[in-house]
Structures are given as structure tokens and as C-alpha cells.
Amino acid sequence: MSEVAAAEVVRARIDSDVKREASAVLAGMGLSISDAIRLMLVRVVSDKKLPFDIYVPNVTTQAAMRNASEGQLEQFATVADLMGALNRDDAES
């Protein structure tokens, strides 16, 4: 990092549970949330990208996620029933 003292403040709204859990995880690494944000931003500057991959789900995945959250997934009583449905899907493709 540069020799200049940090002078800017960054604020972010975050769910209180996420903040609490992140603080605990980071504390185990000897870091604060501010340290983690500072490290991430330094990495963004040096690599010119985020230090992790972000995936945007395609339309099919978005529909499946919506169906799952709305409880509209097909359910099976046995593994054999599930495998039968999967095999039918393969045969139809």
C-alpha cells in the first residue's frame, strides 16, 4: 500500500447478520471489516478486476431459482422416481 495515511471513508449498508458473521470470521484471521475492504480495494486497483468471480444466471437458471423460491419444484417420493424423470428428460432431448 502507499505510504500516505488513509484519509477517505467508505460506507456500505449490510445486513446485520452478515456483518456479525463476517466480523467473527475476519477476527479469526486477525482482520477487521475495514481491513478486509481495504485489502479488496487494493486488489481491485492492482488487478483491475474483482478478486472473485461474479456469475449472472442465465434465463433458464433464473426461472429455476424463481420456481425453487416459490416452492414450485417437482418432488419425488423415491430415488427411482427421480431417476425415471431424469431419464425421460434425456429421452425427450
In this predicted model, what pLDDT tens digit does every residue of 25-80 receive, in sequence order? 999 999 999 999 999 999 999 999 999 999 899 999 999 999 999 999 889 999 99
What are the cell numbers at 61?
437458471
What are the cell numbers at 85?
424423470
Place of cell 495515511: 5
Same-domain status, 64 and 86 = yes
Distance CA 45, CA 31 (A): 20
Same-domain status, 22 and 1 = yes
Confidence at 7, pLDDT banded by 50, 70, 90: confident
Same-domain status, 50 and 64 = no
Place of cell 483491475: 48
